Amino acid sequence: MLIRHSISSGSSMFPHVAKSQSPSTLHNAMQLLQVTARCGYRGANIDDYLDATTLSRPTIYRLLKGLREQGFLRSAPARGYYQLGYELLVLGAQAGNGSGLRDLMRPRLLSLAQQFGDSFYLFARDGIHAVCLEAQNGAYPVGSFVRATGGRVPLGVGQASIALLAYLNDAEKRTILQHGGAALSRDYRIDIAAIEAEIAFLFEHGYARGVEGSQLPEYTGLAIPILDHSGYPLGALSCSMLKSRMNDQHRAAVLDGMRAEVASLLAEAHSLLYLE
Q: What CATH class is the domain 97-273?
A: alpha beta
Task: Say yes or no to pLDDT of 126 above 70.
Answer: yes
Kindly tell me the sign of the dihedral angle through the C-alpha atoms of 153, 158, 160, 165.
positive
Domain ranges of the chain: 25-86, 97-273
* pTM, entire model: 0.69
How far is it, in rounded angstroms, from Cα 147 to Cα 137? 12
Instruction: Please give the pLDDT value at position 231.
Output: 87
92 CB-side CA count, 13 A: 18
Task: Say yes or no to pLDDT of 205 above 80.
Answer: yes
Instruction: Please give the pLDDT value at position 147.
Output: 66
User: What proportion of the chain, given as a percentage, has pLDDT over 70?
Assistant: 82
Q: Determine how many CB atoms are found less than 10 A away from the CB of residue 199.
A: 19
Task: List, for residues 16-61, the tens digit of each pLDDT value.
Answer: 434 444 458 999 999 999 999 889 889 999 999 999 999 999 999 9
Instruction: Please give the pLDDT value at position 63.
Output: 95
Radius of gyration of the CA atoms of the chain, in A: 20
Among 205, 240, 207, residue whose Cα is nearest residue 226: 207
Task: Say yes or no to pLDDT of 200 above 90.
Answer: yes
CATH assignment of 25-86, among 2.30.36.70, 3.20.20.80, 1.10.10.10, 1.10.8.870: 1.10.10.10
Instruction: Please give the pLDDT value at position 270.
Output: 65
251, amino acid identity:
R
